[in-house]
Amino acid sequence: MSEQTHNETTENNENETNETENKEIEDIKNLEIETHKDEEEEEIIQLKSDQLEDLETELVVQSSDLKSQPIYSQGTFEELNLKPELLKGVYAMGFNKPSRIQANALPVIINTKNNLVAQSQSGTGKTGAFTLGMLNCVDPKLNETQVICLSPTHELSTQIYTFVCKIGQFTNIQPLLVIPDAIIPQTIKSQIIIGTPGKVGDFLQTKKINSKHVKMFVLDEADFLVGQRGMKDQVLKIQSYLPKNVRVLLFSATFSVGVDEVINRMVKEPNVRITLKRSELSIDKILQYYINCDTSDNKSIILSELFGYISVGQAIVFVQTRATCSSLTKLMMEEGFPVSQLHGDMTTDERDQSIKRFKEGKTKILISTNVTSRGIDILQVSLVINYDMPIDENGKPDPVLYLHRIGRVGRFGRSGVAITLVHDETSLKQITRISEHLSRPVNELQIDKLKSLSDILKNLKDLTPLKDSPTTTTTTTTTTSNSK
């Protein structure tokens, strides 16, 4: 490896066919990095407010007419120019090599003043990237709020907060969690604020948070924060309280075209964009199946049968409504399963207790609404079940929501299983649409083969898909009885 460094130092950087360079290009071939400079403005984008109608045809922000320029990935954390005490924290957490998004985003955050829109698949280290970026940019001698980081839910904010505490344990930097019911000091001097939009906005408005020295504004799950009615207004309002020259960093696994306009408004130039193509969004290591339950009533029966076979790992079961969440939880508990539940109708305390028990492994199953669909990182989870189909506000199948839900497994190169329950023609069509949209097979798992799920989960590393159904869902509609 000393050869390589030797080569590079003697190489003219305009020689593009250099072998070592080619290797590096290979390495980051999935990334498109575009630098937008001041002058190249004036692109008129005609988007109808924040409608997501075009979702089915286009999922990813692509502005490919601008020259793309690769930024070479750096191999080690040492090379990233992090403060020594941060590097210590990195290694204390057991991280050896920066992930691709970390290797690509951190140089932009640390060595430039660019704003950033960064896309990377679920479970690839986005939190590590912006967390190190935030900690590194704080001036430890200034006891004022310098960074504000937003996420859509209490649990995700808590997770980010915990991560910042751990990785920053050798710094003097004290972050503060700003969510409902959190313990907040009389005067806020924390250099990093992490929280949900409502509470952070409230504190800025009432001047409990001094925005004067804020130089960095980070949004995790950015497309959701600026794409949801209500959330969007809160986020824009928060930015309006911050200094005009604040750096804006947006992170997510998905950026649909519906949020393009808001993002362009929020993220001033110069900015760097790291984007993924739609075909690169889905994690290969997640085995995706659907189970045909015939009727809606059968779903809970099949669910408990399914869990009867499973002896390893933990699972998250996603449902559509809070009501389903508590009724299904009750049902499963009556059947004797160790389940937790999580939804927005619970008190903060109940939510805390519930997720804590699940994280500790005291309950093996978490039944949840979409509140946990994004960002939540629990490594023991190897199975995601879509008890209810992921659908958007119009009742249409939602590939983005699906992607985020199943992204609760398959984190950091691990493998996992995602199962979607279907019960009628509509739901079958919906999962078919999602499968087509993501260009990923979602095979049928026959009910009489449920038992084999146990083996699949036990041998996740082998990743041999079931061969029951050779076709993808694109053709399965014709194989079931059509009564129409």
Partner DNA sequence: AAAAAAT
Residue 343: CB minimum distance to DNA, A: 4
Stretch that binds DNA, among 35-43, 104-112, 185-193, 363-371 (CB under 7 A): 363-371
Cβ closer to DNA: 283 or 434? 434
- Residues 166-225 touching DNA, rule: CB under 7 A, are 179-180, 195-202
The torsion angles phi and psi of 198, rounded to 5 degrees, stand at -60, -55
Give dist(CA 169, CA 395) in Å, integer.
45
Binding track, positions 381-420, relative to DNA; x by CB under 7 A: -----------xx---------------------------
Provide the β-strand partners of residue 342: 368
Using CA atoms, how far apart are residues 242 and 275, in angstroms rounded to an integer?
A: 27
**Which stretches within 310-412 are classed as H helix?**
322-334, 348-359, 399-406
CB atoms near residue 420 (< 10 Å): 28
Query: What are the structure tokens assigned to 48, written together?
Result: 């109808």
Count CB atoms within 10 A of the CB of residue 312. 13
Number of residues that bind DNA (CB under 7 A): 30
At closest approach, how far in Å is the CB of 137 from DNA? 24
In angstroms, give the least distance from the CB of 254 to DNA: 15
Strands (E) located in 24-79: 32-36
Task: Specify the pairing of strand 32-36 against strand 271-275.
Answer: antiparallel
Q: Closest CB to DNA among 71 and 182?
A: 182
Stretch of residues binding DNA (CB under 7 A), selected from 5-13, 246-254, 364-372, 406-414: 364-372
Dihedral sign for Cα 292, 294, 295, 301, please. negative
Residue 374 makes contact with DNA by CB under 7 A: no
Q: According to CB under 7 A, which residues from 125 to 164 bind DNA?
A: 152-155
Q: For DNA, which is the closer residue by CB, 90 or 342? A: 342
- What would the x/- binding string for DNA be over residues 304 to 343, using CB under 7 A? ----------------xxxx-------------------x
Q: State the helix-helix crossing angle for 84-92 and 126-137, rounded to 10 degrees.
A: 150
Q: From the CB of 216, what's the least distance to DNA, in Å?
A: 20
Of the pair 36, 359, the CB lying nearest DNA is at 359
Distance, CA of 472 to CA of 435 (rounded, Å): 8
> Which one, 349 or 393, has the nearer CB to DNA?
393
Tokens, residue 159? 């997770």
Interacting residue ranges for DNA, rule: CB under 7 A: 152-155, 179-180, 195-202, 228-231, 320-323, 343-345, 369-371, 392-393
